[in-house]
Structure 1
Amino acid sequence: MARVNFTTGRLAAFACPPDKAQAFLWDSGVTGLGIRATPRGAPSYIFQREFQGKSPRITIGAVANWSIPRARERAREMQRDIDQGRDPRLVKAERQAEDEATRAAARSAELTVGQVWAHYLVDRKAVWGIRHHDDHLKLAKPGGERATRGTRGRGLTIAGPLYALMGFRLADVTASVVEAWAAKEAKTRQSSARLALRCFKAFLNWCAEHEEYKTQVPLVNPAKTRRTREALGKAAAKSDVLLKEQLAEWFRAVRALQAPVMSAYLQILLLTGARRTEILDLTWKDVDTRWKSLTIRDKVEGERKIPLTPYTAQLITTLPHLKKNPFVFASATAKGGRITDPRAGMQAACKAAKIEGLTPHGLRRSFKSLTEWLEIPTGVVAQIMGHKPSATAEKHYTVRPLDMLRVHHERIELWMLEQAGIEIERDAAAINGNEVSLSRAG
C-alpha cells in the first residue's frame, strides 16, 4: 500500500474515483492509519492492523471532525491496545459505552423535578385509580388560567402546592429546599400541603428505585425530616356529623333543593355511607333493579356490591337519563359528564337547615355514627361502607351475602327516614313485592 504524509491539502484533494466502490489513502507517519472514501460518502479516518491472524478495520471518525494530529494519536492508542493483546474493536465499544454513560449522567443531572414528575405519572398511571392520578395532576398544576370561581376573587386559577418545586433540578432537591417549601405552604394551605408532601415523598422513593434517577436523589429521602413535618402539622380528626335530631331538618332542606340530581345524590350519600366519588361515579350499568344491588368501585377491594334499598331505588328511578351519558348523577354542562363538586348544594341545604360545618364526607361519618342507635353489627356496617375488615374473623371467616346485608341496610334506611319524618305507606301488594312507597309527611 502506498503511503503519503498526511497534510490538510492532500486530504482535501483526496476523493474516490466514480468508477470504484471505495478508495484508500494511507499515512506514512503512523502505520495502520488511513482514509477511506466512497463516491457518495464523506471521507473517514480508519485504522487497520493485523490482530490474531485477521486485519480488522476500525472507523475512527469523519475527516471533517478530526484533526490529523488527533487521528494519529488515536491510531497510536489502538496500536498500543494490539501490542498489549487487547482487541481494539472491544476497546472502542467500551469507550463508546463509557462516553454514553457520561453523557446520560450529564443529561440526568440537568433533569428538573417537573420532567421526572411527568415520567412518574405515566409510569404509575396503570396501578393508580383515576382520582389518585388526577390528584397528582392538580398538585403540580401551574395555575394562572382565567377562572370564575374558587380563586378567592383573584380571577385566575391557583397553582398547585407542588408547582413551586417543579422547576428545581432533581439533583438540587435537598432537605432544606423541602423544609422551606413546607414553611411557605403552611401559611396558606396546610391541609393540601400535607397531601402534597405525602405524594412527593412517594415520588422521591420512586426516583431512588429508578435506575435513571437514583443517582440524583440523596440516600435519605429529603422530604422525610422532622422540621418539614412540624411545619405542616398533623391533620386534626374531623367530627362533622349529623345528629339524630337533625335528620328531619336536613332531609327537608335537601329535598327542597331546586336541583333534583343534587338532591338525590346527597340523600343517597347519607343512606349508603359511601365515599363521595363512589356515588358520583355510579353509572346506569352499576344499578341492578332486578337483584336490587349497586356496584360500587372503591379504593380498597376495587369493587363491592351493596343493597339497592327501596328509597334509594326510588330516588334513582326518578333521575333523568341524558342521551349518551352513562352516569346516574349526570350533568349536561360538566366536562366529565357528571356533577363534580357537591359542596355548593351541601352548603345551601345546611344553611337552610341551620346546620353548620357539615361536609359531604361528614355524611359518610354520619352513616356510621347513626347505625350505633340500631346496634347494627360492626362488620355489616364496614362491609356496606367499604372499610377493610379489622379482625381475623372478619377477614377470613365471615362471609355475608347481599341478602344478609339487605336485612340490615333496609332497617338502617327505614330508621333514618322515620327520624326524618318521612312517612312510609305500605299495602299488601307493596309488601308482597318487597317494595315500599314513601311520601313527605304532611
Structure 2
Amino acid sequence: MSGMKSRVRLTAGRVGDFTCPPGKSQTFLWDTEAPALALRVTPTGRKTYVFESRLSGATLRLNIGTAADWPIEKARGEAQRLKVLVDSGIDPRELERQQQADKAAAKDAATAKALTVGDLWPLYLENGRPKRRDTWKPRYRADLEAMAAPGGEKKKRGQGVKRPGPLFPLMALPLAGINEDTLKSWFDREALSGKHQAARALMMFRGFLRWCAARPEYRSLTDRDAGRAPAILESLPPNTRRVDKLMSEQIAGWWASVEQLHNPVHSAYLRALLLSGARREEIATLEWSRIDWRWKTITIADKFELTRTIPLAPYMAWLLDGLPRQGKYVFHSSGQHGYVKDARSSMERVLADCSVDHLTFHGLRRTFTQVARRIVPGGVPAQISGHKPSATAEGYNILTLDELRPYMAQIEAKFLEVAGVQFDAQAAPGVLRVVAG
C-alpha cells in the first residue's frame, strides 16, 4: 500500500470503534504485533481482516475473514502463518489451490474406489463391443444381461423363479476389489452349479475387465489379469472342441425324418440350415424382404459383417416359397420374437426317429462344410457360410455372387443326391416341384 500506514495494537475495542471516513471506499488499520495484518472497513461497516506482504517484487494481499467470524488472536496467527510462507518464497494462493486440488483428487479417488462392478456393467453393455464389430450381437448382449441378472422372475417354462445369473454375485463388489482371490472364490462357488456355465461367465467377465483396463478413468482400479490366475485356469473344465456332424450315410435318414415333422416351418428351417451352412440365428431371423426372387439371392445377418448375401439355389427357393407369409420373418413363430427361436424339440424328435445319437444345430453347419469341401474349392464353403477369418487364412479370393452361384447349385445338388431327393431344378419359377423318387 502507498502512503503512511496507521498502526495500533488491534484490540476488540479498537476493532469495534474503527469506521470508514466519509468519501472513502475503504480504509485500513494495521496491527503492530503482526505487521502484515490489517483490519479493512468499508462505508457499509463491513470489517475484514486482510494479509498484505510482498512476493517476488509484487504486492500480495489476501482476505483472511470477517471480524465477526475471526477473533483477533486467530486472525493474527493466520497472518503470521502466511508471512512465514511468503518469506519462504511460497505463494499462499498457489498452496491453497494445490491443497484444494489434492482434496478433490482424494475425493475422486475415494469415489472411484467405491465404484462397484454393478455400477459399470450397464456402461459396458452400452459401450463395450467385441472385436471387429461396432455393436454386440443381440443374442450375446442378451446373454451378458442374463449372466448378471438378479433372478427372482417367474420362469417362462416350468414352475418356480429364475435363479440369479452366475455373474450377479460380482455386481456388488468394488471394481478395485476384483483380484484373483475374489474371482477364484466366486468361480469355485459357481462351479458347484455347473463348471461349463461358470467358465463361460468367466470368459464374459474377462471381456469386462479388458474394457475397464482400456479406459483411463478405470485403469488404475482394474486387475486385467485377475481372471487368468493359474489357480483359476487349473479349475476350468477341458476346452473340448465340438465336432458333431452328420456322416454322409446319416443325411438321408435325417432328411426323411425332417420332412415328416408336423411343423412345416421347423421342417423347412432345419433343411435351410443344412443347405446354407449358416448359423441358426442367421437363418432364423431371415426376413421376406431380404429374399430377392428375381435375382435369386438371400441377404442374412452375419457374425462378422452386418449382413452377407448368398445365392438362392433352386431347391432352397422352392422350399422358402412354400412357406406361409405370416409376418416379416420367413420362419415365422407366434412367440414373442416372431421367428423360430428354439427348434430343439423338433431336432430331438428327428434325431430319435433317424437313430442319430447327438447333433447340434451347429453340427448342421459342420456337415455343410464337410460335404461342400469335397466338391468345390475350399474357400467357397467358407464364404457362403460366413467363415470370414478362416477364409482369409486359406488365401482365397472373395467371389462375386455370379461366381458363387454355380458352386451353390452344385452343393445343393450334392445334398439332394445324398438325401435321395429327386428335384426338377429346371422347372419354371412358381412351379418348382419335388419329383417323387
Q: TM-score, normalised by structure 1?
A: 0.78
Q: 1:272–1:384: 8 Å Cα contact kept in structure 2?
A: yes
The worse-fitting range, judged by mean Cα deviation, of 300-309 and 97-106 is: 300-309
Structure 2 residue 168 is the aligned partner of structure 1 residue 163: yes
Q: Who is 1:341 aligned against?
A: 342
- Equivalent residues of 1:47, 1:57 under 8 A apart: yes
The 1:5/1:120 distance shift into structure 2, 3 A limit, reads farther
Aligned with 2:309: secondary structure?
strand
**Aligned pairs (5 A) from 1:7-156:** 77-125=81-129, 127-131=134-138, 132-149=140-157, 155-156=160-161
**Match status 1:199 vs 2:196:** no
Displacement of 1:94 in angstroms is: 1.9
* Cα distance per residue 1:79-133 (max 9 Å; x no partner): 4443334443333222221111101111111122221222222221583323333
1:209 paired with 2:217, answer no
In the other structure, the counterpart of 2:410 is 411
Give a deviation string over 1:252-300, Cα, whole Å, max 9, x none: 3323333333222221111100112222232333222222112233223
What is the aligned partner in structure 1 of residue 22 from structure 2? Answer: none
Cα distance in 2, alignment partners of residues 68 and 106 from structure 1: 37
- CA, structure 1 residues 116+436, in 2 after alignment: closer, same or farther (shift >3 Å)? same
SS of 2:341 mapped into structure 1: coil
Distance 1:189 1:83 in 2: 70
Unaligned runs of 5+ in 1: 14-21
Give the SS at the match of 2:422: strand
Identity, % of aligned pairs?
37
Corresponding residue of 2:248: 244
Does residue 383 (structure 1) correspond to residue 388 (structure 2)? The answer is no
**Cα shift readout 1:311-343 (whole Å, capped 9, x = no counterpart):** 2222323334445x4x33333431x43332232
- Structure 2 distance, partners of 1:355, 1:50, is 95
Instruction: Return the letter of the residue paired with 1:339.
Output: V
**Cα drift, residue 380 of structure 1:** 0.8
Q: In structure 2, how many angstroms separate the alpha carbons of the residues matched to 1:143 and 1:68?
A: 64
CA distance 1:205–1:61, change in 2 (3 Å): farther
Note if contact 1:175-1:222 (Cα within 8 Å) is conserved in structure 2. yes
Q: Which residue of 2 aligns with 1:174?
A: 179
CA distance in 2, matches of 1:368, 1:113: 41
Equivalent AA in structure 2 for residue 329 of structure 1: F
2:319 to 294, 315, 322: 315
Q: Does 1:328 align with 2:330?
A: yes
Correspondence for 1:278 among 276, 282, 289 = 282
Shift of 1:154: 5.6
Aligned residues: 418
Q: Which runs of 5+ in 2 are unaligned?
A: 17-24
Find the aligned partners of 2:368 and 2:171 in 1 and give their Cα distance.
Answer: 40
Cα distance change of structure 1 residues 109 and 405 upon mapping to structure 2, 3 Å threshold: same
Closer, same or farther: CA 306–108 of 1 in aligned 2, 3 Å: same
Query: In 2, are the aligned partners of 1:322 and 1:332 still within 8 Å (CA)?
Result: no
One-letter identity of the residue aligned with 2:282: E
> Are 2:191 and 2:197, in contact at CA under 8 Å, matched by a contact in 1?
no
Tell me which moved more, 48-57 or 375-384.
48-57
Q: Distance in 2 between matches of 1:72 and 1:113?
A: 51
- Tell me the distance in 2 between the aligned counterparts of 1:260 and 1:45: 91
Q: Which amino acid aligns with 2:172?
A: G
SS at 1:282 equivalent: coil
**Alpha-carbon displacement from aligned partner over 1:220-245 (angstroms, at most 9, x marks no partner):** 61111222122122221213212223
In the aligned structure 2, how far is the partner of 1:200 from the partner of 1:84? 53
Structure 1 residue 406 displacement after superposition: 1.5
Checking the alignment, whether the CA contact within 8 Å between 1:32 and 1:48 is kept in structure 2 is yes
Amino acid at match of 2:220: T
Q: Which AA in structure 1 matches 2:188?
A: A
Q: 1:225 to 1:86 in 2, by over 3 A?
A: same
